[in-house]
Amino acid sequence: MHRLTRDDIEQAAQRVYQVMPATAQYPWPLLAQRLGCTVWVKHENHTPTGAFKVRGGITFMHWLKREHPDVQGIVSATRGNHGQSLALAAGAVGLRALIVVPQGNSLEKNNAMRGFGGEVVEYGRDFDEAREEAARLAQAQGLYLVPPFHPELVKGVATYALELFKAAPDLDSVYVPIGCGSGICAVIAARDALGLKTEVVGVVSSEAAAAKLSFDTGAICETASADTFADGLAVRKPIAEAFAVYAQGAARIVSVNDQQIAEAMRVYYTDTHNLAEGAGAAALAALMQERESMQGKRVGVILSGANVDQSVFANVIG
């Protein structure tokens, strides 16, 4: 992946802002009291799809229309947020969006994808099997297969990091959840483009720790399962292009378990009255785990999404 410049990210931001406004970032006082450090929350739960991925969807569709003007539609696999993002962004430029989800996927996320104009197909036992089916459908129906990681997705996502760093340029650390990697790669890209010294800390689920294992050993590792309720983190194997970026650009990767994630979801609710899905709360969970070493520092956490099913949130909050 070529290194993004500030100009690249600013141009992407102009495209993103034609569809949605910038999201807020606040230094929440109750989080500061609880954790003994300044905590800036980047509110990607406030986008039109309730998650950060819509930014990448917008820039990707612009690129696709420019580079492949004959394409009639796109297909991709998702657990939900990527799919909502692509459905909204494809609809905005007049393309069909076919979205493949694993069987038993979140009904609320499926409904949201349909609401944005996506066609949803259920296939396979997990994300990786859904991805294989998406590739087959691309061939069979002449659709463009949107990968879960692509330079244009990273460029769009980097716009949230640019907003955060412009509002709070002196952060010591930023915690970012890792699924397929566009979020952490975007934060690294924006930090480097702005010439900042902020350390970037990746966060995975202890039940889907492939990115951490890979980071710690220096070689791509795969896990047998990715069984966490934080579905945005449920990836069994890192994407090589993403790993190449965060292996170099991240300070470390922290793993948090489902109990810690659930606690962070409760803390977001009590201290900020914001809804966070599992992956969205993972960054705060990691900061809570590392609170001793963060005393007195200025820290950013990415609240990457709010799309949690009612039944799941009821269990967590209860």
CA atoms of 118 and 61, how far apart (whole Å): 14
At residue 17, the 3 state secondary structure works out as coil
Residue 304 known to be catalytic? yes
CA atoms of 151 and 57, how far apart (whole Å): 11
Q: Are 145 and 99 in contact (CB under 8 A)?
A: no
Options 53, 109, 155, 212, the catalytic residue: 53
Q: Give the β-pairing of 25-27 and 38-43.
A: antiparallel
Q: What are phi and psi of 122, to 5 degrees?
A: -95, 130
- Cα Rg, the chain, nearest whole Å: 18
From the list 106, 205, 214, 304, the catalytic residue is 304
Q: Which tokens in the block code for residue 39?
A: 């905590």
Residue 259 CB contacts under 8 Å (≥ 6 apart), including other chains: none
Name the DSSP class of 23.
P
The residues annotated as belonging to the active site are: 53, 304
